[in-house]
Amino acid sequence: MNFIIISVGNEILSGDIVNTNATYMAKKLSQRGHRIIRIIVVPDVIEDIAEEVRNASKKAHYLLVTGGSGVTHDDVTAEGVTKALNKKLVLNEEVAKMVREVSSNEEAIRKIASLPEGCEVIENDVGVAPGFVIENVAVMPGVPAEMENTFEKLIKRFGEKDYYEDTLEVEGHEEKILNKLNLVVEEFKDVQIGSYPKSGYVVIKFSGRSGKEVEKAKKRNRINWVNLVGVSPPSLPGELANLISLIYKAYANQVTGRKWFEAPPLSKVLDRVKGFLE
């Protein structure tokens, strides 16, 4: 399936918060063999939300929207989605009943429970505002824990296809491997190949629906790299400094559960340390 993700929020556009919701969903869907064709960020404006939802819902099998589901004046995602799909915004009695169990504020209850007529409600186990599905549009809260809770209920209905992924780390800079990498890209058209420069090395990612093809592409690229001429191995102090930096970054990512730094998983970094010491 093809997916488009829309993240709603002025705070994302202003750089006040990182769009971790889109990253989370994109990774989960990609690992199940689905394709993310676009990620869009829109402000908390009904007309802007409606325009993007209207356009995106015609281009993807499913449109995933996060944010703007609370009780404040700028939580207008439900209104935007309702307008985009030419529906009526009505008080969902099922949701109103759930919200009344935790709040007596009728204004807040009406705000949260006003949803597109005929939508399917997705219960939020860790918050108040639920998710909902209308046609091919799924809307989830913007708070990461709440988004993840509702998204995990939704993802099961999307199915799963074969998906394989592997990476290869090579020392040096992208321009050193460009020509050889392009040859592999041309040869393995069913494998998605991406290169991501880091400090002193490049991560090459291989992904696709055939594990055999992914492995062949990785092996071919490794051979090409070994055969490159004029690329010197990193100096001992330089490699040691790089490893220390990677350990710090990978550890910070792991203990916090967030991608604060660009670094391989801690287990892979420790494997590199082991190889360095040997």
pLDDT digits (tens, 9 = 90+) for 198-218: 777 788 888 887 778 878 877
Average pLDDT of the segment spanning 105-125:
94
More confident: 65 or 238: 65
Q: What share of the chain is helix, strand, coil (3-state, %, to 5)?
A: 45, 20, 30
pLDDT at residue number 161: 74
Residue pair 6/56 in contact (Cβ under 8 Å)? The answer is yes
Residue pair 114/77 in contact (Cβ under 8 Å)? The answer is no
Residue 268: pLDDT above 80? no
Percent of the chain's residues with pLDDT above 70: 87
Distance CA 63, CA 68 (A): 15
Residues composing the chain: 278
Residue 111: pLDDT above 90? yes
Neighbour-count burial of 162, counting CB atoms closer than 10 A to its CB (0-12 exposed, 13-18 middle, 19+ buried): exposed
| Mean pLDDT score of the chain | 85
Distance CA 275, CA 38 (A): 39
Residue pair 191/209 in contact (Cβ under 8 Å)? The answer is no
SS3 68: coil
Distance CA 151, CA 40 (A): 18
Identify which of 243, 247, 248 has the alpha carbon closest to the alpha carbon of residue 277.
243
Both tokens of 216, joined, read 């062949």
pLDDT at residue number 244: 74
Using CA atoms of 267, 218, 163, 139 in order, give the dihedral in degrees to the nearest 10.
70
